[in-house]
Amino acid sequence: MTLDNFATPLDVAALAFFFLTVGVYRFLLSRTFLERRSLVGAIQQQRVRWMLNMGRRENRMLDAILLGSLGQGNAFFASTSAIAVGGLAATMGSGERLQNILGGLPYVAPATPVVWEVKQLLIMGIAIYAFFKFAWAFRLSHYAAIMIGATPVPGEASSEECAAHAERTARLIGIAAEHSNGGIRSFYHAIAAIAWFFHPLLFMMATSWVILILARRDFFSRSLRLISGTSP
């Protein structure tokens, strides 16, 4: 029994290209020398400034409200991911019917039932990954709220102690944002994975297109220049 009975070499190459491209991009983005030049690094500097300002205030109600609104966004995306997983699970086993529908479209590459199930499992796996990312980010936002509440009151602690606590809180919020960003990027990658239902070459093109969009927004966007203060 050959590989062609399960998947074509082009399908295997497209799937390998997807995982390699996504993995390399995430690895490079996690490197310190690149992260400092990215939108993630720029906004983390602003988080540190935010927490340092928070440490100098006695009333932290505004900070708690801002953090709560950020956490609610993670809860919304986590529930959306869970709904997507349920919807995809409902389509398992009906691949032949869906394939017949898509088969009527031009330029759609035929696929074996095994490949079709792998396509569905790929998107489901991405949705599950996004759920865990958003759920943990939501939980971390609770911990960050506790850290804000535990910030020493100015006058009752030294300025160095307040600043150290504020920086730890900023790093914790940054970790929550890191997981949230991972979940949001997963949605981008899921859009690229949908292209695999039509053709493996389209899948590779969509994967490259998504990576280019993410790279532009992370390293070359107007938002980055505004947040970092380099915009004219």
Could you tell me the pTM of the whole model?
A: 0.86
Interval 11-33 mean pLDDT: 89
Where is mean pLDDT largest: 24-28, 92-96, 211-215? 211-215
**CA distance linking residue 59 with residue 153, whole number of Å:** 9
- Residue 15: half-sphere exposure toward Cβ, Cα within 13 Å: 15
CA dist., res. 220 & res. 22, Å (int): 19
pLDDT of 56 reads 82
Give Cβ neighbours of residue 169 (< 8 Å, ≥ 6 apart). 51, 54, 144, 147, 148, 151
pLDDT tens figures, 39-69: 888 898 999 999 888 888 877 788 888 888 8
Lowest mean pLDDT among 32-36, 38-42, 119-123, 125-129: 32-36
pLDDT at 199: 85
Report which DSSP code applies to 37. T
Give pLDDT tens digits for 200-209. 899 999 999 9
pLDDT tens digits for 141-152? 999 988 888 888
